[in-house]
């Protein structure tokens, strides 16, 4: 994947996450600025997604730690496991919000 393809894929992923949040009517706000997508929860906690072009990874910062995702076979996958970005976001959003969150993106 070249840098242009990487940028396009991250942009599409950010839009898909935003669309999924709106479709789910989840009580989670979001903001995107300068290549960073932030999900804001009622209690002030955040999930922060950032593109890391030099290593072609999508990084996710959460209250529980940081996660690095690679583009593998058409989806973002944790660098050290088979967990997808969708699975990890749903897990973390559910943990933070205290309710079951199931976003589809």
Whole-number pLDDT of residue 80: 86
Residue 27 pLDDT exceeds 90: no
Residue 65 pLDDT exceeds 90: yes
Whole-number pLDDT of residue 26: 80
Give the whole-angstrom CA distance, residue 96 versus residue 6.
Answer: 29
Q: What is the pTM of this model?
A: 0.92
What does DSSP assign to residue 54?
G
Q: Which domains does the chain carry?
A: 3-97 (3.30.920.10)
């Amino acid at each position: 994947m070249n840098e242009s393809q990487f940028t396009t894929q991250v942009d599409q992923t950010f839009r898909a996450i935003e669309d999924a949040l709106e479709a789910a009517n989840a009580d989670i706000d979001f903001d995107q600025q300068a290549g960073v997508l932030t999900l804001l929860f009622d209690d002030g906690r955040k999930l922060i997604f950032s593109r890391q072009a030099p290593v072609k990874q999508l990084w996710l910062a959460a209250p529980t730690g940081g996660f690095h995702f690679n583009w593998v076979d058409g989806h973002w996958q944790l660098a050290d496991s088979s967990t997808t970005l969708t699975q990890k976001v749903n897990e973390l959003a559910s943990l933070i919000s205290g309710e079951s969150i199931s976003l589809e993106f």
